[in-house]
Structure 1
Amino acid sequence: MGQLVEWPEVVTEGKTLEECRELLKDALYEMVMAYRQQGKEIPVGGALLEQVPVEV
C-alpha cells in the first residue's frame, strides 16, 4: 500500500513496490489535474517516507 504524505487522499497499492510507485504517480497526476480544475492550491513537499515489510 502506498500513500503520499502531502496528499493523504492519494492511496493505492500494487503487487510490487515498483508497481505501487507507478500507481502513486498516476494517482498523483490525476489529483493535480483535479486540483487545477477546481482552483485549489497544490501542496508542495519533498518528504520521502517508505516502509517495507520485514519477515520475522
Structure 2
Amino acid sequence: MTQSYTARYTKIASGYLGQLIEWPEVLTEGASLEECRQLLRDALNEMVLAYQALGKETPSSNSLLEQVPVEIVDVGEAA
C-alpha cells in the first residue's frame, strides 16, 4: 500500500529542515534540499517500521492544505 504525506522544508543555517505535516515527529535535517528529502523518506520508513513493531496505527494523510493569501499593510503607512 502506498500512502502519501505532505513535507515542509525550511531553510536553516546548516541546510534544510524537513518535517511531515501529518506526522510532525518525522523530521530531519540535510545539507541540501535533495539530501533532506532523502533523509526524510528514510526517517518516514523507519517510523513506519517502528509503529508496526509496536502495533500502533500510522497517522492518516487525508489532510487538505492550501495557502491563504493576505495583504500585509506596513504599520507606518497611512490608511
Which range, TM-score by smaller chain?
0.7 to 0.9
Across the aligned residues of Structure 1 and Structure 2, the Cα RMSD in angstroms comes to 1.6
Query: Quick one: percent identity of the two aligned structures?
Result: 65
Aligned residues: 48
Q: Which has the higher strand share?
A: 2
Unaligned runs of 5+ in 1: 50-56
Q: Which has the higher helix share?
A: 1
Q: Structure 1 segments of 4 or more deviating over 4 A?
A: none
Unaligned runs of 5+ in 2: 1-16, 66-79
* TM-score, normalising length: structure 2: 0.55
| Larger relative contact order, structure 1 or 2 (CA cutoff 8 Å, min sep 6) | 1
**Structure number with larger C-alpha Rg:** 2
* TM-score, normalising length: structure 1: 0.76
